[in-house]
Structure 1
Amino acid sequence: MIEAELKARVHAPEVLMRQLDERATARVEVYRDTYYDRPDGSLDAADQELRVRTVHGADSTRTVLTFKDAAVDAVSGSKPEHETVVEDADQAHAILRGLGHVPVIAFEKRCRNYDFVARGRRMLATLVRVPEIDGTFLEVESIVEEREVSAALDDIRAVLAELSIGPEDLTRDTYTAAVTAQRG
């Protein structure tokens, strides 16, 4: 499956939060992400990602192991995504290190997630703040078959337009690159 996703810089986060609160009930979560690579950096070189994410919510904590393959859409950066919940975060980290992967960066994302249906698609909108970088971001995604990526991205663009997010607000900048730059 492909994570068809667009990400935008948000200029009026409070206004956007109110709009999203009208669409769905927010789920406030803190993500603790650790990205891994091979010692030679070959995952990054191949536009692939390997991540352990521990999600702390109001009522629970869960850990998800994710592999994202190279982008299938150059404009959006949408990627095939494979993930599974793991029972023990420490063991997931130990397994990846045991297989020779090395942690390259770890950081926190503070998220406000909204699940809703728009244009006949299940979508997830996430307002994101990363304490180490300036700004608020909005990610809107839908998990689709590869043949649906273009149409899903069009639907996501329509939802963004309804939220007063225009093409000029879109960004392909990654949190990993921004945090790396901030840390120097």
Structure 2
Amino acid sequence: MIEAELKARVHAPEEMLRRLEERAGGRAEVYRDTDYDTSDRALEARDEELRVRTVHGPDDTRTVLTHKGAGVDEESGSKPEHETRVEDAEAVHAMLRGLGYVPAIAFEKRCRNYAFEARGRRMLATLVRLPEVDGTFLELETLVAEEDLPGALGDVRAVLAELGIRAEDLTRELYTDAVRARRGG
């Protein structure tokens, strides 16, 4: 499946929060992400990602292992995504290190997630703040088959517009790059 996703900078976070709450109840979660790569950054060179994410929610903690393939849409950066829930986060970290992967970066995201149906699609809107990065972001995504990507991205853009996001608010900036810049490397 392809994660048809667009990300935008949010200039009025309280207003966005209100608009999202009108669509669906939100769920506050803290993501602790560790991105892995080879020592020569081969995954990054191929535009791929390998991540272990531990999600701390109000009722549970879960860990997900994710691989994102190279982007299939230049404008949005949408990528094929494969993920699975794992029972033992420490074991997965140890396995990846044992296979020769090294932690490339680790950081925290504070999120509020909203799952809803729009334009005939299941969508997930995530309002994001990173303690190390200024600003608030909105991610809107839906999972689709590759042949449906153009239509899905059109629907994502339309829902973002309904939420008050303008084309000039969209960004392809990666959180990993923003965190690295903030840390001076």
What range describes the TM-score normalised by the shorter chain of this pair?
over 0.9
**Unpaired runs of at least 5, structure 1:** none
Aligned to 1:105: 105
Aligned to 1:145: 145
* Equivalences for residues 1-184 of structure 1 within 5 A: 1-184=1-184
Q: How many residue pairs were aligned? A: 184
What is the CA-CA distance between 1:82 and the residue it aligns to?
0.3
- Normalized against structure 2, the TM-score is what? 0.99
Kindly provide the amino acid, as one letter, of the partner of residue 173 in structure 1: E
- Normalized against structure 1, the TM-score is what? 1.00
How many Å separate the matches in 2 of 1:78 and 1:28? 25
How many Å separate the matches in 2 of 1:44 and 1:135? 25
SS at match of 2:180: helix
Q: CA RMSD in A?
A: 0.3
How many Å separate the matches in 2 of 1:161 and 1:78? 19
What is the CA-CA distance between 1:13 and the residue it aligns to?
0.4
How many Å separate the matches in 2 of 1:164 and 1:46? 34
Deviation string 1:109-129 (CA, Å, 9 cap, x unpaired) is 000000000000000000000
**% identical equivalent positions:** 71
How many Å separate the matches in 2 of 1:38 and 1:146? 28
SS at match of 1:100: coil
SS at match of 1:19: helix
SS at match of 1:105: strand
What is the CA-CA distance between 1:45 and the residue it aligns to?
0.3
How many Å separate the matches in 1 of 2:136 and 2:88? 30
What is the CA-CA distance between 1:40 and the residue it aligns to?
1.0
Kindly provide the amino acid, as one letter, of the partner of residue 27 in structure 1: R
Q: Any runs of at least 4 consecutive aligned residues in structure 1 with deviations exceeding 2 A, and if so which?
A: none
